[in-house]
Structure 1
């Protein structure tokens, strides 16, 4: 099962019919997918489902209809146990960005975090998870697949938000402030903190 978020509403790609009970059901073709995304984007539906019997094939087929953009980012913790957040588009978010040609996912994650926040001396601890969301670019829907990594740094320097990416603020946040930030964030970001000490 894959959960693709449209704003904060899930479009669930599943190979189990039993999972499609509580929402509208759509076929795996271009017009149906676009209808599903439109309905979720306009908040006409709270959830939508696309069924395909083969789990391996479902994402492949979906990305033939909706172009895929691969990105990577980081959940960065400093020596005080605080987590690095960025603020843009009136929401708290985590640093991430698009994979460049010839780059590994790890290299992309480290580069993007540094570019967007000014934080240096980053070390990847482990892979966390992959999240999916739909966004609109030039009038067409695209699927963003983000590979998230847990990172550590002992950086104590200045935090600098990347202006070209419209990042207004960069902040280290402790557990109490993380909880507050997640209330004004995205479902995919909240997912990264699920079952964590921050909840």
Structure 2
């Protein structure tokens, strides 16, 4: 199954005939994707399930409709077991960014977390999951594919939000503050925490 978000509304590609979400189910082979995107963009529907007979083939066909942007980010824990968050665009988020040329996805993840938060001494723990979301840039449809890693740090210094990227706060949050932040975040960030708890 692939779950792709557009404005926090899911497009679920699946080869399972069951639809437990209550969204309308379409046959991938007969659907007009631009119509689905329009309905999601205009808040006419809250999500959709696209049924695929061959999921891998469906995914290849689906991604052909977009310019794919690869990115990586981190769910970072400090020694107090607090999570690192950034605040941007009126929402709490996790640090992430686009891969640069000839850069490994692991290097991207660490570099972006360091740049966006001013944190140091990061170590990769494990891969968590890949998330997907759609957006428009310069009238072009883009699919952001983000690989997420669990990271650890013993950094005790001051965090510095990357203002030029629109980040106004970078801070570690304890369990109760994390729960509060997750009330004002993106659907994909919930998936990252679900992968961490799994």
Q: What TM-score do you get using the length of structure 1 for normalisation?
A: 0.92
CA shift, 1:61, in A, is 1.2
Q: Give matches, 1:37-76, under 5 Å.
A: 37-76=37-76
Indicate if the aligned counterparts of 1:28 and 1:62 stay in contact, CA closer than 8 A.
no
| Partners of 2:86 and 2:20 in 1: CA distance | 35
CA shift, 1:42, in A, is 2.0
| Partners of 2:16 and 2:72 in 1: CA distance | 29
Q: Rate the CA distance shift 1:195–1:58 in 2: closer, same or farther, 3 A.
A: closer
| Partners of 2:21 and 2:169 in 1: CA distance | 41
CA shift, 1:50, in A, is 2.0
Using the TM superposition, name which of 14-23 and 112-121 deviates more.
14-23
**Equivalent residue number for residue 115 of structure 2:** 115
- Deviation string, structure 1 residues 115-169 (Cα, Å, up to 9, x no partner): 1100011000000111111111112221111100000000111111112211011
**Equivalent residue number for residue 158 of structure 1:** 158
Indicate if the aligned counterparts of 1:130 and 1:148 stay in contact, CA closer than 8 A.
yes
Q: Verify: 1:4 aligned to 2:11, yes or no.
A: no
Q: Give matches, 1:180-191, under 5 Å.
A: 180-191=180-191
Q: What TM-score do you get using the length of structure 2 for normalisation?
A: 0.92
Q: Rate the CA distance shift 1:50–1:7 in 2: closer, same or farther, 3 A.
A: same
- Deviation string, structure 1 residues 15-44 (Cα, Å, up to 9, x no partner): 223338832344647x82222122122221
DSSP-derived class of the 1:183 partner: coil
**Equivalent residue number for residue 19 of structure 2:** 19
Indicate if the aligned counterparts of 2:128 and 2:195 stay in contact, CA closer than 8 A.
no
Taking only aligned residues, the RMSD between alpha carbons, in angstroms, comes to 2.0
The count of corresponding residues between Structure 1 and Structure 2 is: 197
Q: Rate the CA distance shift 1:196–1:128 in 2: closer, same or farther, 3 A.
A: closer
- Deviation string, structure 1 residues 57-82 (Cα, Å, up to 9, x no partner): 22211111122111000000000110
**Equivalent residue number for residue 147 of structure 1:** 147
**Equivalent residue number for residue 172 of structure 2:** 172
| Partners of 1:16 and 1:53 in 2: CA distance | 9
Question: Any gaps of 5 or more consecutive residues in structure 2?
Answer: none
